[in-house]
Amino acid sequence: MSNGKEPVPVPQRWMGASVVIRNEAGAVLLLKPHETSGWRLPGGLLRADEMPHAGLMREVRAATGLLCETVHLLAVDYVRAGGGAPEGVEFVYDGGVVEAGVPMLIEEAAFSGRAWVQLSRLKGMMRPLYERRLRCAVDALGKGTVYLVQGLDVATSSR
């Protein structure tokens, strides 16, 4: 509470959006950022007052050149603060299937590579949180939106 003299501190939070894009064989598109170890889904942080799906389309186009039409919200993941990072929320969308031969680029300033990866080969490629989030999002395909905490489905995991 403020005593009228000191401003109330504004909580530090982030919001991000990512997308599950699959190829015709069912593999998922992953990007390899320069600044971190491991791979991740296309997407990124949202700007102030930016709607999640609009920010996602902006980020995906910049990173891959793909015009991503967000079909369905697969998951919302609440991430607790920790390790010096603030709490945040990640929206995960279904980006559909990309047909063979569709041209893609890579934003070389931010990413060193891209790969189509089958879920069976995913182990150890991503941070554990990202991998859990991806697997839950893929499980939600064709179903409904799942609510996650730290990449775990709150409806099926013990709290």
The 8-class DSSP code of residue 156 comes to T
pLDDT of 8 higher than 70: no
Q: Which of 145, 138, 147 is nearest to 117 (CA)?
A: 138
More confident of the two residues 58 and 2: 58
> Averaged over 97-118, what is the pLDDT?
89
Burial class (CB in 10 A: 0-12, 13-18, 19+), 30: buried
> Averaged over 37-45, what is the pLDDT?
92
pLDDT of 1 higher than 60: no
pLDDT at residue 27, as a whole number: 97
Q: What is the pLDDT of residues 126-148, one digit of tens each?
A: 999 999 999 999 999 989 999 99
